[in-house]
Chains A and B, each alone.
Chain A
Amino acid sequence: MMLKRHASRTVPCEAALAYELLSDYAAYEQWMPGVKSSKVLAQETNFAIAELEFIARPGEKMTVECLHAPRQTVIARTLTGNKPAFKLAWDIAPTESGEALVTVRMEGHLRTLFRMGWSSIFADPQKGLESLVDLVATYGDSPGSDKVIEISETEDGLVCSYRGTKYQLKPIS
Chain B
Amino acid sequence: MVKAVAQVDTARSIVYSILTDFGNYPQWVPGCERCQVISTSGNTSTAEIVLNSMKKITLRLRFDAAPDQLLKFEMVSCPDIKAYSGSYKLMNASDGTGTVVVTELELDAGPMAPRFIVDRMVKKTLESTGEALQKFAKTVAARSPAPAPGPAAAIPGHKVRRPKCLLRVIHTEAGDEIYYGGRLFHVK
A residues in contact (CB < 8 Å) with B:
26-27, 39-44, 49, 63, 65, 79-82, 134, 137-140, 142, 144-155, 158-159
Contact = CB atoms under 8 A, between A and B. Distances in A.
A149 B168 CA distance: 6
Contact of A155 (B161, B168, B173): B161
A42 B3 contact: no
Contacts of A63: 5
Contact of A140 (B91, B159, B176, B179): B179
A41 B163 contact: no
B87 interface: no
Contacts of B7: 41
A137 B179 contact: yes
B171 A42 contact: no
Query: Of residues A40, A49, A148, A155, which shows the largest number of chain B Cβ atoms within 10 Å of its Cβ?
Result: A49
Given A81-B2, A81-B3, A81-B123, A41 B168 contact: no
Interface string B1-31: 1111101000000000000000000000000
Contacts of B168: 140, 147, 149-151
Interface of B: 1-5, 7, 91-94, 100, 102, 104, 119, 122-123, 152, 154, 159-173, 176-177, 179, 182, 184
13 contacts: A26-B159, A41-B94, A42-B94, A80-B2, A138-B165, A138-B182, A145-B172, A146-B170, A146-B172, A147-B169, A148-B170, A152-B164, A152-B166
A40 B94 CA distance: 7
A142 B177 CA distance: 11
A134 B152 CA distance: 35
A79 to B, nearest CB: 4
A140 B164 CA distance: 11
Nearest to B173: A144
Given A42-B93, A42-B94, A63-B5, A152 B173 contact: no
A13 to B, nearest CB: 12
B170 A138 contact: no
Given A49-B100, A152-B166, 20 more contacts: A26-B159, A27-B162, A39-B94, A41-B5, A41-B93, A44-B91, A80-B1, A80-B3, A82-B3, A138-B182, A140-B168, A140-B177, A146-B171, A148-B170, A148-B171, A149-B169, A150-B169, A151-B167, A151-B168, A154-B164
7 nearest A-B pairs in the assembled complex, by CB-CB distance: A81-B2, A42-B91, A42-B100, A79-B3, A152-B163, A150-B168, A138-B165
Contacts of B2: 80-82
B84 to A, nearest CB: 15
Query: Of residues B119, B159, B169, which shows the largest number of chain A Cβ atoms within 10 Å of its Cβ?
Result: B169
A144 B171 CA distance: 9
